[in-house]
Amino acid sequence: MLKNRILGTLTALALAVASVGVGANAAHADDDDRVTCSGYGTKNAQYRLTLAERDDDRMRTRLAIDTKVKNKKWTVKVYRDGTKVHQASKRTGKKGDVTFAKTVRGDDDHRYRVVATTKGQKIVRTIALDDDLECRSGKGSKGSRYGYSVTERDDDRATAQLRVNGPKKNARWNVSYYRDGKKVASATKRANRYGNVTVTKTFRADDDHRIKVVAKSGYGERITRTIDLDD
């Protein structure tokens, strides 16, 4: 009987792990004092931007960039509600990655805009510790990295955005958004010459809804992810 109980526990654990899904990054789920959003630059630099609240009325910003180009100089500026509060420059390491981290004054009432630039490329992203913002990231069925975010608006609507960094330029992507299982928006868009594509749609939704994105590429890749606005 003990053996059966142990086997049952192990089986349940395996099913729970499997339910996370291939390519999904559950660790990026928002909580009360931290949010992480992913995306790409104007070419193909990948980034992960994290904003975390501290206990001393300060906020920790962290931007990790992966360009696969070593010794590349990047300059990062951080703005709090439009006012620049930090600037720094660094070069990428041997693997082409670089990380900027800085603690600045502020709280969850502020919005932070991060601008990172290098020769020929730029990253711009606004982030806030707001209950109305949810971000997720992961990889598609063929390994393309994506960032998925949903922002609840004040007019009983939500803006959903999918950013994909794929391997094929000019690839055709069909993207659909579902609210509690019902399709509410869709679009077809082609990737740019770096394989990047962003699809943004606004539709009726509030914090009682689950927003699912389904994206399919012309070369057979698929991305599926759901955000629960009540999290």
Residue 206's pLDDT band, with cuts at 50, 70 and 90, is confident
What pTM was estimated for this model as a whole?
0.77
Mean pLDDT of 138-158: 93
pLDDT tens-digit series, residues 2-15:
444 444 444 443 43
Residue 32's pLDDT band, with cuts at 50, 70 and 90, is low
pLDDT tens-digit series, residues 153-167:
888 999 999 999 999
Q: What does residue 218 show for φ and ψ, rounded to 5 degrees?
A: -70, -15
Which residue's structure tokens are 């990889």? Answer: 139
Residue 231's pLDDT band, with cuts at 50, 70 and 90, is low
Residue 176 neighbours by CB distance under 10 Å = 17
Domain boundaries in the chain?
Answer: 34-130, 131-231
DSSP 8-class letter at 31 = B
The encoded tokens of residue 168 equal 């094929």
Domain at 131-231, CATH class: mainly beta
Mean pLDDT of 52-68: 92
CATH level 3 topology of 34-130? Immunoglobulin-like (2.60.40)
pLDDT at position 95 is 94
- pLDDT at 23 exceeding the cut of 90: no
Q: How many residues does the chain have?
A: 231
- pLDDT at 25 exceeding the cut of 70: no
Mean pLDDT of 102-131: 90
34-130 and 131-231, same CATH topology: yes
Burial of 205 (0-12, 13-18, 19+ CB in 10 A): buried
Residue 107: HSE in the Cβ half-sphere, 13 Å Cα cutoff: 4
pLDDT at position 131 is 62
What kind and span of H or E run contains 9?
A: helix 2-18
